[in-house]
Amino acid sequence: MQFVSTRGQAPVLGFSDAVLAGLASDGGLYVPQSWPQFSTAEIASFAGKSYADVAYAVISRFVGDEIAPAKLKQIIDDSYGVFRHPSVAPLVELAPGHFVLELFHGPTLAFKDVAMQFLSRVMDHILAERGLKATIVGATSGDTGSAAIEAFRGRDTTDIFILHPQGRTSPVQRLQMTTVLDANVHNIALDGTFDDCQNIVKAMFNNHNFRDRVRLSGVNSINWGRIVAQIVYYFTAAVSLGSPHRPVSFTVPTGNFGDIFAGYCAKAMGLPIDKLIIATNANDILRRTMETGRYEMAGVAPTISPSMDIQISSNFERLLFEGAGRDAGAVVRMMDGLKQSGGFAVPENALSAIRRGFAAATTDEATTRATIANTLKAADYLLDPHTAVGVHVAQQNLGAIPMVTLATAHPAKFPAAVKDASGIDPALPAWLADLYDREERLSVLANDQQAVEDFISARTRAA
Ligand SMILES: Cc1ncc(COP(=O)(O)O)c(C=O)c1O
Ligand SMILES: N[C@@H](CCOP(=O)(O)O)C(=O)O
């Protein structure tokens, strides 16, 4: 399997090189050259299989022969062996025909663990085989960072540098990152927003001198290695609800568009997904784009679902590439518009393709709180604020086809917002019970690419 850049100017790479590259050298994102297909019989055969076995079936299609089957199987088994639920990603029925897919049974209580546990092991394997070390960077609004730090801590092949927006994560999210004291872990609290963190990460990738010198690699969902692992749970969820013999719809609380793009990939591979619904908080750039056909930046508003406080939704570029018939030139023009004037018009062919496959709606803050309270009352189920954004949107779209809302985080990651909405103070699980008492380590840096590059250069072992 080969991977091409959405901007058309970067080398075509195999799986291992695409994973190590993170962002393509032309600033684009890697996508598979073509979508592997599953037949109806193959999808039906997933019924009753373990999560790890379905993960192997899906992921191996993208890896090809680059990793020996037994090794890949071991990486996948080890990745999902750390999850606290035997199903890894169980479904819970909230109301007739409406399910939540619990993706928070990993070590840091958010869906990011599902991909990050795999990505850290696969990168470690590729680097060890090549006798290399890499510098891992990531931007986080809270969850990617904690999952990445947990997955990469103590690894000999990598040093990891995570940028978070100072004061804009929940305290639990911050502590999950800053209390990890392994020598290869470096937390940077940036004086800015998540978008500022993400812009610096992308700018470092586009500084080829620096990128090559420190052997830069990324853990955000710009890395194809993240998306590939997130495709799996669309298959396991849909199959347990009767696919491929009946379609299923998904509502996804969305920020950087990685999670819902994985749903698009599952559909492109043959899974009968009816609707993919984008659920946004007040930072509703994606819903506005769907309505108006213009992607237009506005300021970032802090919300009680802070992990989705995002304006530059990186993976939307992958969808634009697909929607525009894989016209890399059109993607370059759109991204130039974004850089130069903070917005662009989505070409008509891309817009109608996107509107055919996706719907979008926004949940405001008061409704998010009300959804947490009402779901507790009606279903005796405590939602985190991100999942609540999704559940409300899903409730407006229920019908004959089963609806799955992705439950992207555990309520205990956002205790203040959850208590305010429900009166319940969700307890952290035993392994995090002393989180507030642990020692913290972080460095506060200005919103300045040079300052971040200097900080990394002085500490990485990969240079
Ligand atoms: C808890 C939670 N829900 C939803 C999202 C949005 O996911 P994505 O960025 O893949 O759209 C994030 C962050 O990305 C998150 O941390
Ligand atoms: N919500 C995310 C933002 C980064 O998203 P990613 O999926 O691209 O890593 C976070 O929690 O950091």
- For 275, phi then psi, to 5°, come to -115, 145
- Nearest ligand to residue 164 Cα: 2
How far, in Å, is the centroid of ligand 1 from the Cα of 84?
A: 21
Cis, peptide link before residue 244, omega less than 30° from 0: yes
Helix, strand, coil % in the chain, rounded to nearest 5? 45, 15, 35
What is the 303 CA–ligand 1 centroid distance (Å)?
13
Q: How many whole angstroms from its chain centre is CA 106?
A: 14
Instruction: Tell me, yes or no, if 49 is annotated catalytic.
Output: no
Nearest residue to 144 (alpha-carbon basis) of 219, 35, 246, 230 = 219
Active-site pick, 112, 133, 202, 275: 112
- ipTM value of the model? 0.99
Q: Which of 124, 117, 15, 137 is CA-nearest to residue 66?
A: 15
Residue 171: predicted pLDDT: 95
Q: Which residues of 33-50 are buried (b: 16+ CB within 10 A; e: fewer)?
A: eebeebeeeebeebeeee
Who lines ligand 2 at CB under 6 A? 140-145, 220-221, 255-256, 258, 307, 314
Ligand 2, atom 7: closest residue by C-alpha = 221
pLDDT given for residue 463 in this prediction: 82
Tens of each residue's pLDDT in the chain, 463 residues: 999 999 999 999 999 999 999 999 999 999 999 999 999 999 999 999 999 999 999 999 999 999 999 999 999 999 999 999 999 999 999 999 999 999 999 999 999 999 999 999 999 999 999 999 999 999 999 999 999 999 999 999 999 999 999 999 999 999 999 999 999 999 999 999 999 999 999 999 999 999 999 999 999 999 999 999 999 999 999 999 999 999 999 999 999 999 999 999 999 999 999 999 999 999 999 999 999 999 999 989 999 999 999 989 999 999 999 999 999 999 999 999 999 999 999 999 999 999 999 999 999 999 999 999 999 999 999 999 999 999 999 999 999 999 999 999 999 999 999 999 999 999 999 999 999 999 999 999 999 999 999 999 999 999 8
Cα 25 to middle of ligand 1, angstroms = 25
Measured in Å, residue 305 CA sits from the centre of ligand 1 at 9
60-65 CB contacts, 8 Å cutoff, 24+ apart: 61/1, 61/36, 61/269, 62/1, 62/15, 62/32, 62/36, 62/224, 62/228, 63/1, 63/15, 64/1, 64/14, 64/15
For residues 335 and 27, give the distance between their C-alpha atoms in angstroms, rounded to a whole number. 10
pLDDT at 81: 98
Ligand 1 centroid–CA 213 distance in Å is: 31
Cα dihedral 355, 357, 362, 368 in deg (nearest 10) = 170
Closest atom, ligand 2, to C-alpha of 222: 8
Q: Is the beta carbon of 254 within 6 A of some atom in ligand 1? A: yes
> Is the distance from the beta carbon of residue 110 to the nearest atom of ligand 1 less than 6 Å?
yes
Q: Which atom of ligand 1 is nearest to the CA of 258?
A: 10
Ligand nearest to the CA of 144: 2
**Among protein residues, the one whose CA lies closest to atom 3 of ligand 1:** 408
SS3 string, 126-193, reads: HHHHHCCCEEEEEECCCHHHHHHHHHHCCCCCEEEEEEEECCCCCHHHHHHHHCCCCCCEEEEEECCC
Paired strand residues for 279 = 253, 361
Q: Are 447 and 139 in contact (CB under 8 A)?
A: no
Taking CA atoms only, the protein residue closest to ligand 2 atom 5 is 256
